[in-house]
Chains A and B, each alone.
Chain A
Amino acid sequence: MGPIIPIFEIPEELNFLVAFIIGIGFGFALEQAGFSSSRKLAGMFYGYDTTVLKVFFTAAIVALLGLTFFNYFEMIDMSIVYINQYFVNSAIIGGVIMGLGFIIGGFCPGTSACAAAIGKIDAMAYLGGSLIGIFAFGATYDWWKEIYMANPLGGIKLSTSLGLSDGVVVFGVVVMAVLMFWLGEWAEKKFRRPDITEET
């Protein structure tokens, strides 16, 4: 039964090797999707390039459906898998700040690492900036500590908070994703900017 490494108590070094290999797959997929271009990423918010939406939601529903079926076929023990901890205030405030950072900088840390690897200078600047930002947070930590730790709700799942079963929520997410794909395709036709999308 999965997850393999925690259950069979495989040593940490092998875990790191697996992380490296998975990272290679991650970077490869990101770059093939075109996420190493900041204009492509920002295009999502102006409608001319909804690649982000398609890739993001496709990946999410593939993994989501995969985990659901693995769980059903008793191939994974979900009580060992990490579920993000929900701290209400910090999730929302952090998200808003990140959104601002995203639209100004045009990257997120994962894509910037990928873009820096193929030589994009603005991605390297972004990485440098993110190091400064993290340092700033650490140095001023005492100011934010209360907000950061406020309202811990633990590893709560969406299905629990809505009172629905896991499967129904999965279906809802899948439906929403498919709708967004159609919406994205429509927006791309409407807000066409061939001068940008054909660049990369």
Chain B
Amino acid sequence: MNPYLAGIILGLVLLLSFYLTGRGLGASGAMKSVVVTTVETVAHDKAESNEFFSHYLNTGHSPMRSWLVFEILGVMVGGFISGALSGRLSLKNEHSPKISSKKRIVMAVIGGALFGFGSQFGRGCTSGAALSGMAVLSLAGFVTMVAIFGSAYVFAYFFRKNWI
């Protein structure tokens, strides 16, 4: 699909989200809910004593009962539907021909860990902070977006073998 058209659809979805619920999209918060719930079930006492986790456990209901968790479930369903409609459903490991499959998986895990860590630090990821933040003209959104894309450009040179 033409990227501009996809962008318009995405923009309309974002606008609808603001108009209906007063909040924009997001993703990293759902991952956090999963982590908090896991930590709570596995090591309940540790969770209570840790300031970060206890903050999300003292709300009176399960941390999984959050807006973002339902939204991410929807993202998966939506992605699946779109992939099915366009014939892109396949179990695949995508990587540059210059590196091995295994290295790609390792890189994905490391990248994911860094991004997960950074998203908590930066209070949002590209969808929640950058995209939705820009739509409401929030300074935090712009700064986070510039930091993410700017540093990605800077580091791109060192990792070019992975992609090109």
Number of interface residues of A (CB under 8 A): 129
With A30-B75, A122-B108, A141-B52 in contact, is A157–B117 under 8 Å at CB? Answer: no
Q: Per DSSP, are chain B's interface residues mostly helix, strand or loop, or mixed?
A: helix
**Given A86-B138, A101-B111, A144:B121 Cβ within 8 A:** yes
Do the beta carbons of A84 and B108 come within 8 Å of each other? Answer: no
* Interface residue? B17 (CB, 8 A): yes
Could you list 7 further interchain pairs (A-B, Cβ under 8 angstroms) beyond the known A30-B79, A95-B122?
A: A82-B23, A86-B139, A98-B151, A99-B148, A102-B111, A104-B110, A132-B116
CB pair A170–B137 under 8 Å, yes or no, is yes
Chain A residues with CB under 8 A of B149 = 99
A23 touches B71 (CB 8 A): yes
Taking a contact as CB atoms under 8 Å apart, the answer to whether B21 and A56 are in contact is: no
Kindly identify which residue among A2, A110, A155 contacts B138, using a CB–CB cutoff of 8 Å.
A155
**A20-B90 in contact (CB<8A):** no
Distance of A153 Cα from B140 Cα, bound (Å): 9
List the interface of chain B (C-beta within 8 A of A).
1, 3-4, 6-28, 30-32, 34-36, 38-39, 50-53, 65, 67-68, 70-83, 86, 88-96, 104-105, 107-156, 159-160, 162-164
Q: Which of the residues A115, A116, A148, A153 comes within 8 Å of B121, measured between beta carbons?
A: A148
Residues B75 and A113 in contact, CB atoms below 8 Å apart: yes
Q: Could you tell me the distance between the alpha carbons of A9 and B153 in the complex, rounded to whole angstroms? A: 44
- Nearest A residue (CB) for B84: A118
Asked if B112 and A200 make an inter-chain contact with CB atoms under 8 angstroms apart, the answer reads: no
Interface residues of A (CB under 8 A from B): 2-6, 15-34, 36-39, 42-43, 45-46, 48, 51, 54-64, 66-67, 70, 75-76, 78, 80-88, 90-110, 112-123, 125-139, 141-142, 144-145, 148, 153, 155-161, 166, 169-170, 173, 193, 196, 200
8 Å CB contact of A97 from B27, B118, B126, B156: B118
Which residue on chain B has the smallest CB distance to residue A88? B143
Contact status A108-B115, CB under 8 Å: yes
CB-defined contacts of B116 to chain A, threshold 8 Å:
101, 109, 129-134, 136-137
Are A3 and B21 interface neighbours, CB within 8 A? yes
**CB proximity of B11 to chain A, nearest CB, Å:** 3
The residue that A118 contacts in the complex, of B88, B109, B127, B130, with Cβ under 8 A, is B88
Is B39 a contact partner of A135 (Cβ separation < 8 A)?
A: yes
**Of A29, A113, A159, A200, which contacts B137 at CB under 8 A?**
A159
Known contacts A134-B116, A148-B121; A64 and B77 CB within 8 A of each other:
no
Whether the Cβ atoms of A94 and B119 lie closer than 8 Å is yes
A125 touches B109 (CB 8 A): yes
CB contacts (< 8 Å) of B122 on chain A: these are 90-91, 93-95, 97-98
